[in-house]
Structure 1
Amino acid sequence: PAPPPAPPHACGAGAREVIVAVSQMANSDVREQDVGRAIALVRQAAEYGANVVLLQELFQGYYWPQEQEGKHFDRAEEADGSELLQTFSDLAKELEVVLPISFFEKSGSAFFNSVAMIDADGEILEGIYRKTHIPDGPGYQEKFYFNPGDTGFKVWDTQYGKIGVGICWDQWFPEAARSMALMGAELLLYPTAIGTEPQDPSLDSSGHWQRVMQGHAGANMVPVAASNRVGREAWPKSYPPSSITFYGNSFITVTLALSLSLSLSRSRSRSLTLTQRTTPATSL
């Protein structure tokens, strides 16, 4: 059978090379410490020549949706005037890298799991993406905190190509990847927080998780990158007590070589870069 047709944006005279990096780190209960770790990983990736750097979902601390506690709403911040976004805006401008930043957003009386896209000149591009698919189960009690996203899927036109971002559980749904590809995305990014299931710690879904996103890359002819946290995080005082071992395995998958999936495995704190010298206008 004939191979699937390449999308219009995947070939032609406008082809160029873009280097994408994903990071992976264990988290703590100290926000400033984790933000500092994230900054260090972005700097490391930039030293390797990265143009686009992906950090994991809600990288500013432990994954607190393991429990339901009203105090965690204090973590939310409005996008306008956000100190976190300004910090990474300054970093993006200094290093000339594109940074999609995951954060807990407060908007009026609503709360969202959101991503802001910061361009390589430090500009926070118009439009926030708010997570569409919100999980609700043991250890992943996100519906207690997050409203379903009201933005629809988004693609930003950055200095290094058109980039679409889904957040964690969005990655399991082919409609999300397809929608962004049809909107012209040349690269799909998924900041993530996923690991063992508290009700069955022996269940390891990491292989399934990677294969699903490899499928998105192959079906849409768009490179895909995912950044996941790593390490065990326990909340013994939650009801019921919860513990998740986040399995890391952050990876980058190219469009045509689905077996080419470079992974950080379960490393505690690293960044990964990959460059593909082929025809796509935005290649890894």
Structure 2
Amino acid sequence: MISAAALCGVNIICFQEAFTMPFAFCTRERLPWIELAESAETGPTTTFLQEIARMNDMVIVSPILERDETHGDILWNTAVVISNSGQVLGKSRKNHIPRVGDFNESTYYMESNLGHPVFETKFGKIGINICYGRHHPQNWMMYGLNGAEIVFNPSATVGELSEPLWPIEARCAAVANHYFTCAINRVGTEVFPNEFTSGDKKPAHKDFGHFYGSSYIAAPDGSRTPGLSRIDDGLLVAEVDLNLCRQVQDHWGFRMTQRLDLYVSELKEVIEPNFRPNIIRENK
């Protein structure tokens, strides 16, 4: 069953965050959920989808919970990119880990060590900005600097936490970075056997709340598709014209005027221990 997915031109499909399993890692229950972690390269989900990709001449973006067997079984929130030839083209990992309410994921997997890879496929250059990374404009920006034409945002997020931001963030990123964005969110509610608390002095509970769906695709000119249902499973299909990326870039020129040299100089100062904000005050 597909809770949410975006299909671009019937050639690239991206599923919701961790689509092969309940989204349960950030509760206090590690088991049995953590046992569903698998290898990004040779795990059962990847192996199954490799054949699907080859048979249908389709690129598949498959978000999973990765068990990195090469590096001590470390867990990562990962999206595997499978080429239309059936080969594993590579993977992208979640750069920013939430520590908000029930979504405290820092005890389940690590922040990415892969940066912002962009994958050149037969159907376009794609990046994957996983879930919470959409709240960070610099995260979106780096995929653009690395040449992305489409950036997928596979997510699993609930109404109380982020719904007011949902229609805005991916659309703004598309405009600012001259690429298409695909905002993908699941639907439904997970209910767990044991109650858990959120450290906010509210009563213990057994669910996160409602995952509100509403998946959509936004274009670099600011236009967007209607959203999928808030309550029902869905598959969003859209045909995108990648020529629009360059056309909008030439028209608005944000890339040409972005002054990276200015920001890299100031950001170097910000990360120093002795940094003080550049605030000018009146002498008294």
TM range (shorter): 0.7 to 0.9
1:149 to 98, 105, 112: 112
- Per-residue Cα deviation, 1:25-54 (whole angstroms, up to 9, x for no partner): 18xxxxxxxxxxxxxx79xx69xx611111
What does residue 47 of structure 2 align with?
86
Contact 1:24 1:228 in 2 (8 A): no
Q: Which residue of 2 aligns with 1:97?
A: 58
What fraction of aligned residue pairs are identical, expressed as a percent? 28
Q: Report the TM-score, using the length of structure 2 for normalisation.
A: 0.76
1:259 to partner: Cα distance: 4.2
2:178–2:245: 8 Å Cα contact kept in structure 1? no
In the superposition, the TM-score normalised over structure 1's length comes to 0.76
| Residue 152 (structure 1) shift | 0.8
Supply the AA of the counterpart residue of 2:233. Answer: S
Superposition deviation, residue 207 in structure 1: 3.8
Q: Could you tell me which residue of structure 2 aligns to residue 171 of structure 1?
A: 134
Are 2:229 and 1:265 equivalent residues in the alignment?
Answer: yes
Distance in 2 (alpha carbons) for counterparts of 1:175 and 1:151 = 15
- The counterpart of 2:96, out of the listed 108, 112, 133, is 133
Mapping of residues 123-272 of structure 1, within 5 Å = 123-125=87-89, 127-197=90-160, 205-235=162-192, 237-240=194-197, 241-243=205-207, 244-256=209-221, 258-272=222-236
Rounded to whole Å, the distance in 2 between the matches of 1:215 and 1:63 is: 27
Q: How far did residue 277 of structure 1 move?
A: 4.8
CA contact (8 A) 1:166 1:189 kept: yes
3-state DSSP of counterpart to 1:64: coil
Distance 1:81 1:278, change over 3 A: closer
SS at match of 1:263: coil
Counterparts in 2 of 1:74 and 1:217: CA distance versus 1, 3 Å: same
Instruction: Report the count of equivalent residues.
Output: 235
Give the one of 90, 97, 106 matched to 2:67: 106
| Partner deviation per Cα, 1:205-249 (whole Å, 9 max, x = no partner) | 324222011110001110100211001222351322242200000
Distance 1:227 1:89 in 2: 22
Structure 2: gaps of 5 or more residues: 198-204, 248-284
Q: Which residue type is aligned with residue 81 of structure 1?
A: T
The 2-side partners of 1:83 and 1:274 are apart by 29
Aligned mates of 1:259, 1:165 — CA distance in 2: 20
Distance 2:238 2:3 in 1: 18
Are 1:75 and 2:32 matched, yes or no?
Answer: no
Q: Which has the larger radius of gyration?
A: 2
Once the 2 structures are TM-superposed, how far is the Cα of residue 60 of structure 1 from its aligned partner? 1.3
Structure 1 residue identity aligned to 2:145: L
User: Structure 1: any 5+ residue segments left out of the alignment?
Assistant: 1-22, 27-40, 198-202
Match of 1:63 in 2: 23
2: CA distance, partners of 1:196 / 1:260: 21
2: CA distance, partners of 1:221 / 1:90: 33
Q: Report runs of 4+ in structure 1 exceeding 4 Å deviation.
A: none
SS in 2 for 1:262: coil
Counterparts of 2:99 and 2:242, CA distance in 1:
41
Q: Is the 8 A contact 2:26 2:108 kept in 1?
A: no
Q: Is the 8 A contact 1:206 1:249 kept in 2?
A: no
- Matched residue type, 2:183: A
SS, match of residue 143 in structure 2: helix
Cα separation, 1, equivalents of 2:242 and 2:144: 19
